[in-house]
Amino acid sequence: MDILIQDAPKIIATLGNLVKRDGLIPEFAILSNGECSIQQTGYDNWDGGVNIYSIYCRMPIDIYAKYESVLKDIEQNIKNKAENIFRAYPSCWIGDVLISPKLSTEIEEKSYKISSEELLKLIDLQKSLMISVSTGGERIQNVNDTYKERLNTISEGLAERNIRNTILFNDLWEWYEKWRSEELSSYQSRRVFLNKLFLPLEEAVKKDSSNPVNPIFDEPTGWERVDRSINEIKNRIKGANTEEQFQSIGLLGRETLISLAQVVYIESEHHSLDGVAPSKTDAKRMLEAYISHSLPGKTNENIRKHAKASLDLANDLTHRRTAEYRLAALSAEATNAVVNIIAIISGRRDLK
């Protein structure tokens, strides 16, 4: 058997250690996250015959996209390091280092039936119509059918993006009752109300269409139950619009913190701050104990304070009977922050 091919996993591992030692972060990310292999790709008759080998690295798409603009430099740096290793194998040369995206089994994104540009236009038209009928413009009986038809289209566009629809008026007569009963007596007050109503919706559609690249720590932690809960929170917050749905997010946040605590807390190592042994569901005491044990000493004091403050906020919010969107969203964000903080402390976010 070809001894170099047999040693291929060791060669790749050694390359990874060499580039890490030299602080070549992109090269280390490629070698540690990719599916790398070595194959014989040529033969040269020079000096009694020389076998030529190439290194192939297939990358997850998110990492490939992050370094796509500098791949040639990365490939050359890895090749330079490989030349030193190949000296130990007689009559063997390094040929090319080729980095490519890992093949996918399905398309991650989908084409929406209603484009983001069209949806934003419809939302703006709907807001303008509502302003018009409430400030002496169009008459409701003349444009109500247009409003309802457009609302159906907007609702469809939002639903396929999992964006919560904040336009709660099924027709313009409901909007009429709103501005009459809520003492929106001036035209200006009605404009202000509608601008506040529509702004989060417009921002949500724009954010969805922008597809931000490489969000920080969007990848799962590897703690299966915690990751499932976080994904469920993200899905629920997008579609929540009732008191019961908002409250369920707080409940799920509590369960997430309990699962997180149970996976990192070790009773024999982590001692509660007040000397009370935590129960199996006492997430706050377990996580406080874990943080204090993992971040000892004065140099870590500020980090401990930040981690515990995040935990206190999440614990407070997840125990409230959150009955409106903003509190539910804050609860979801605080829970996610604690998960990421603990994942960082535990080493789960380190470069592999």
Q: What is the amino acid identity at position 317?
A: L
* Chain centre distance of CA 343: 14
Residue 17 has pLDDT above 70, yes or no: yes
Lowest mean pLDDT among 10-24, 129-143, 167-181, 322-336: 322-336
Residue 250 in contact with residue 317, Cβ under 8 Å?
A: yes
Residue 110 has pLDDT above 80, yes or no: no
Number of neighbours of residue 32 by Cβ within 10 angstroms: 18
Lowest mean pLDDT among 72-81, 203-212, 295-304, 308-317: 203-212
Percent of the chain with pLDDT over 70: 93
* Chain centre distance of CA 35: 23
- So what's the pLDDT on residue 43? 85
Residue 226 has pLDDT above 80, yes or no: yes
- So what's the pLDDT on residue 210? 54
- So what's the pLDDT on residue 56? 93
Rounded distance, CA 63 to CA 71, Å? 11
- So what's the pLDDT on residue 218? 64
Sign of the CA dihedral with 84 first, then 85, 90, and 92 last:
negative
Rounded distance, CA 253 to CA 237, Å? 11
Rounded distance, CA 276 to CA 331, Å? 26
Residue range 111-135: mean pLDDT, rounded:
89
Lowest mean pLDDT among 144-148, 200-204, 210-214: 210-214
For residue 130, what pLDDT band results from cuts at 50, 70 and 90? very high
Residue range 182-210: mean pLDDT, rounded:
85
Residue 237 has pLDDT above 70, yes or no: yes
Number of neighbours of residue 297 by Cβ within 10 angstroms: 7
Residue 195 has pLDDT above 70, yes or no: yes
- So what's the pLDDT on residue 166? 86
On average, the pLDDT of the chain sits at: 86
Residue 37 in contact with residue 56, Cβ under 8 Å?
A: yes
Residue range 109-138: mean pLDDT, rounded:
87
Lowest mean pLDDT among 55-59, 142-146, 243-247: 243-247
Joined together, the tokens standing for residue 248 give 């369920």
Percent of the chain with pLDDT over 90: 41
More confident residue, 132 or 243: 132
Residue 214 has pLDDT above 80, yes or no: no
List the one residue out of 287, 259, 289 whose CA is nearest residue 272.
289
Q: CA separation (Å) from 329 to 72, 132, 279, 318, 336?
A: 43, 32, 28, 11, 11
List the one residue out of 279, 287, 278, 285 whose CA is nearest residue 226.
287
- So what's the pLDDT on residue 65? 83
Rounded distance, CA 320 to CA 328, Å? 9
Residue 176 in contact with residue 140, Cβ under 8 Å?
A: yes
More confident residue, 335 or 46: 335
Residue range 275-281: mean pLDDT, rounded:
90
Residue range 258-277: mean pLDDT, rounded:
91
Name the CATH topology of 3-101. Answer: GMP Synthetase; Chain A, domain 3 (3.30.300)
- So what's the pLDDT on residue 106? 53
- So what's the pLDDT on residue 213? 41
- So what's the pLDDT on residue 198? 92
- So what's the pLDDT on residue 212? 43
CA angle, 162 then 167 then 172, to 5°? 145
CA distance between the termini of the chain: 30
